[in-house]
Structure 1
Amino acid sequence: MTNLPADAVVIGAGIAGAASAFYMASRGLNVVVCEKGRIAGEQSSRNWGFVRQQGRDPAEIPLMMEANRLWRGLERELNADLEWTAGGNMVVFRDEAERAMFGRWLDHAKAHGLDSRMVDRADIDRIATGTNFGEHGAIYTPSDGHAEPAKVTPALARAAEGRGATFLENCAVFRLIREGGRVAGVETEQGEIRAPVVVLTTGAWSSKMLSHLGLKLPQVWVTGSVGRTDPQPEFAKSAIWAGVGIRQRRDGTVNFARRSADHDLMVQSLLHGRSFRKLSRQHAGDFRIRFRKLLLDTAMGHFSDAALANELLRHRVLDPKPNMQVLEEALAELKQAIPALKAARIDRSWAGYIDMTPDLLPVIEAMDEPQGLVIATGFSGHGFGMGPIVGRLVSEIVADGRPSLDLAAFRFGRFADGTALEVGTAV
């Protein structure tokens, strides 16, 4: 494979990387995707599966509205079953303060023509039958939906390959090749790949990868746990947030999770801790600090090429253990909220590492230094729904030199230019 030529190399085969490859290949570009483990091995197959416009940071609303349009035709375009369900998304208010917060967010939704609306108890009963929640009302976005994460990214990869893209699994990228101030390809464990464009979609690994280019991306990892019940009677086609995230699949099984997450203390926690002070104060109850062996396993990857290469090879697929205590508590809460699920049991459970930025917004940008580097990372636990539009925007950046949507809010430089990093997401 040494000196294999390409128009673009994508590092990372999660949903952003696979979608980028699909849309670039659809435009006739010769694309090679390098993945240290397997396609969709990490968070892209481990998330909740929500595809929501609702509750987004105002900067993300235009992207998600366009993403929603893409999702509605994606099964047809990919010729694949993605378990796409256009059942809406509903957030049930826990108190009047939360209702007021979403009332303020609704002003942004209306400004963009989004179909979000406040609903009362009678509406909630029509959206989700037999529930005990909703005394304070809810917000509902009928045009939202959900899909099965384990199916989506592999389908994008297959479709990209059908258009000429090449996917290399078990092919870690050790470093970017730079010549004259721009990228010229990548050095991988399988050899060198020359290309004038490199697209970095490496999720939780992005901060370490970028540090070796002299680029400081404030990023930490948190672990989110998800459970799945045995098949249950149908109660809702809508994805629901009611203290517990709920998504009933076509086979009747119910995926559920809490927003709370575990943070395994590691080197980047110390390197970027100051950048996350405001976020940690705002969401103090949502994160639990843990001391795990991963602190030692990933201690040096920021500081030397050899150490990073060793980490990438040792951790082909990050596969953290789920927090079963949290899931058992969430299931008990779910049974109380939906009595029809009183006999439900946990049939499966899993966890994934989520990469987070201080303002919970991603970076989507073509860098000036080095030229030819395009970054799409930092999706902070809500990148699944954005995957298709991110891929299309990356293809536009590479092929046209500019994206069709305004990406100013997602520029890399905001972390160092004095921009106030405010959290604008309502969920």
Structure 2
Amino acid sequence: MFQSLAIRHGATIRDRTEVAEMKRDGIDIIRVSTADGRQFRGNKCVLTVGAWSRKLIKEITGLELPIQPLHALVWYWKIKDGFEASMSTAGGFPTFAFFGEPQLYGTPSMEFPGLIKISLVSGWPCDPDRRDWTIGGGDESAVKRQAADCIELVMPGRIETARGSVMTQACMYSMTPDEDYVIDFLGGEFGKDVVVAGGFSGHGFKMGPLVGRILSEMAIDGEAETAVRIGVDMKVFGMGRFEENPKGNV
């Protein structure tokens, strides 16, 4: 939806384009080079590269941001016959979280008929360019046993747990020590012409529309007017918080 709306408003989407380098080219121009040799120039740049944030920002500025890429797994479990309707959003089934060790969360049956999703809140540290797309080096069996225990606790008798999950999907988080976002100007030679947003820690997706508005205001106006209007102190999301405390806002 966001891509469709962007194209409708004149944006150009370049899929599968790896950013290799970003430099200041003159006083007011930012030059971005890609791995396949293309170059893009502009007055402003918004850097939102997810799990690659740490790598790219270090290459550009030498700054080491504690944004850890994590390989996360999502599991889908079979709902027992007769309970499908009650496990859906229409049936009033909620999203839930289990704050044990490890932390898990689950959602109603939405994506795949007859299946319910339960996933790790966190994951295993990984290199985004060299990750194992299966279990990522973690003890998946132990986590799945914990997930089965959680299922029996929260929804006893409704899910087939004996044979485990029926489907696994891999995804990737960019996790900060305090699990708060990084939204800031890159600073240094780039000043306010480059805006950085990353470290959304697995829970930033739902804030996409608001974060997008804030980033556009920062890039165009040099200030997040929306954040000021709703009373949000953007220092909470600043990169400098890790200099004062390695754990950020913890």
Match of 1:245 in 2: 105
Alignment partner of 1:185 is 2:185: no
Instruction: Map 1:187-206; keep pairs closer than 5 Å.
Output: 187-188=33-34, 189-206=36-53
Q: Which residue of 1 aligns with 2:144?
A: 327
- In the TM superposition, residue 179 of structure 1 has moved relative to its aligned partner by 2.4
2:177 pairs with 1:358: yes
1:211 corresponds to which of 49, 58, 61: 58
Q: Residue 241 of structure 2 aligns with which residue? A: 414
What is the CA–CA distance in structure 1 between the aligned matches of 2:53 and 2:124, rounded to whole Å? 20
SS in 2 for 1:175: strand
Deviation at 1:400, TM superposition (A): 2.6
CA distance in 2, matches of 1:219, 1:335: 34
Is 1:396 equivalent to 2:197 in the alignment? no
Change (3 A) 1:342 1:411: closer
Aligned residue number for residue 103 of structure 1: none
Secondary structure of 1:359's match? coil
1:223 aligns to what? 71
| Alignment coverage as a number of residue pairs | 220
Q: Which amino acid aligns with 2:106?
A: I
Cα distance per residue 1:283-336 (max 9 Å; x no partner):
xxxxxxxxxxx5xxx8xxxxxxxxxxxx5xxx6xx6621464123441343034
Structure 1 equivalent of residue 206 of structure 2: 385
Q: CA deviation at 1:375?
A: 0.2
CA, structure 1 residues 331+183, in 2 after alignment: closer, same or farther (shift >3 Å)? farther
Cα distance change, pair 199–329 in 1 and its aligned pair in 2 (3 A): same
Residue 226 of structure 1 aligns to a residue in which SS?
Answer: strand
**CA distance in structure 1 between the partners assigned to 2:125 and 2:16 by the alignment:** 27
Q: Is the 8 A contact 1:319 1:351 kept in 2?
A: no
TM-score by length of 1: 0.47
Distance 1:336 1:361 in 2: 30
SS at match of 2:13: strand
Pick 1 or 2: higher relative contact order, CA cutoff 8 A, min separation 6.
1
Q: Which amino acid aligns with 1:385?
A: K
Q: Would the alpha carbon gap of residues 260 and 389 (structure 1) be closer, same or farther in structure 2, given more than 3 Å must change?
A: closer
Q: Per the alignment, do residues 230 and 166 of structure 1 end up closer, same or farther by CA in structure 2, a change over 3 Å counting?
A: farther
Contact 1:257/1:327, CA 8 A, preserved across alignment: no
User: For the structure 1 residues 359 and 182, does the alpha-carbon distance in structure 2 shift closer, same or farther, using more than 3 Å as the test?
Assistant: farther
Instruction: Work out whether residues 58 and 65 of structure 2, in 8 Å CA contact, stay in contact via their aligned partners in 1.
Output: yes
Cα distance change, pair 171–353 in 1 and its aligned pair in 2 (3 A): same
Scaled by the length of structure 2, what TM-score is found? 0.76
Q: Share of identical aligned residues, percent?
A: 27
CA distance in 2, matches of 1:192, 1:422: 35
Spell out, residue by residue over 1:28-79, the C-alpha distance to the aligned partner (whole angstroms, 9 max, x if none): xxxxxxxxxxxxxxxxxxxxxxxxxxxxxxxxxxxxxxxxxxxxxxxxxxxx
Q: Tell me the residue number matched to 1:33.
A: none
Gaps of 5+ in 2: 228-232
Q: Secondary structure at the match of 2:124?
A: strand
Q: Quick one: which amino acid aligns to residue 359 of structure 1?
A: D
Counterpart Cα distance in 2 of 1:218 and 1:182: 29
Tell me, in whole angstroms, the C-alpha distance in 2 between the residues paired with 1:356 and 1:240.
21
Residues in 1 aligned to 2:66 and 2:157: alpha-carbon distance in whole angstroms:
44
Structure 2 counterparts to residues 14-93 of structure 1, below 5 A: none
Structure-1 separation of matches of 2:238 and 2:248: 14
Distance 2:38 2:108 in 1: 44
Over 6 Å off, 4+ runs: none
